Chain A
Amino acid sequence: MIHDIYSLLRGPMVWLAFCIFAGGMVFRITAMVGLARQKDRVVFDYMNTRYALRSILHWMVPFAGVNMRKHPVMTLVAFVFHLSVLATPLFLCAHILLVKASWNLSWWFLPDGVADVMTACVVAACGFFLCRRMLLPDVRYLTTASDLFLLALVASPFISGFWACHQWPGYPVVMMAHMLSGEILLAAIPFTRLIHMFFFPFTRGYMGSEFGGVRHAKDW
Chain B
Amino acid sequence: MPEKIRFMGSLILLMLLAVLLCPAHAQEDIVRVADRVFEAPMRPPVAFHHDAHNEKAGLDDCSICHHTYENGKKQEGSDSVGMECSECHFSKDRNNAVDLINAYHLQCNGCHASRKAGPVMCGECHRRR
Contact assessment for A172 and B124 in the assembled complex, using a CB-CB cutoff below 8 Å: yes
B interface, by DSSP: helix, strand, loop or mixed?
helix
Residues of B with C-beta under 8 A to A94 = 122
Closest 5 CB pairs of A and B: A3-B116, A167-B123, A167-B128, A106-B98, A100-B102
Given A93-B42, A166-B128, A3 and B98 contact (CB-CB distance below 8 Å): no
Residues of B with C-beta under 8 A to A96 = 98
- Report the separation of the CA atoms of residues A171 and B42 in the bound assembly, to the nearest whole angstrom: 19
- Report the separation of the CA atoms of residues A10 and B127 in the bound assembly, to the nearest whole angstrom: 20
Residues of A with C-beta under 8 A to B98 = 96-97, 100, 106
- One digit per residue, 1 when the CB lies within 8 angstroms of any chain B CB and 0 when it does not, for chain A 175-193 equals 1000000000000000000
Cβ-closest chain A residue relative to B98 = A106
Q: Is B46 an interface residue (CB 8 A)?
A: no
Residues of B with C-beta under 8 A to A45 = none
Using a CB–CB distance below 8 Å, which chain B residues touch chain A? 42, 98, 101-102, 105-106, 109, 112-113, 116-117, 120-124, 127-128
Contact assessment for B102 and A112 in the assembled complex, using a CB-CB cutoff below 8 Å: no
Contact assessment for A97 and B116 in the assembled complex, using a CB-CB cutoff below 8 Å: no
- Report the separation of the CA atoms of residues A182 and B98 in the bound assembly, to the nearest whole angstrom: 24
Contact assessment for B121 and A172 in the assembled complex, using a CB-CB cutoff below 8 Å: yes
Contact of A101 among B109, B112, B123, B127 (CB under 8 A): B109
Given A4-B116, A112-B42, A166-B128, A171 and B102 contact (CB-CB distance below 8 Å): no
Residues of A with C-beta under 8 A to B101 = 97, 100
For chain A, residues 1 to 31, give those with C-beta under 8 angstroms from any C-beta of chain B: 3-4, 6-7, 10
Residues of B with C-beta under 8 A to A172 = 121, 124
Q: Is A207 an interface residue (CB 8 A)?
A: no
Interchain residue pairs with CB less than 8 A apart (7): A3-B112, A3-B117, A10-B120, A100-B101, A171-B121, A175-B121, A175-B122
Contact assessment for A3 and B106 in the assembled complex, using a CB-CB cutoff below 8 Å: no
Q: Is A118 an interface residue (CB 8 A)?
A: no
Given A97-B105, A100-B102, A101-B105, A171 and B124 contact (CB-CB distance below 8 Å): yes
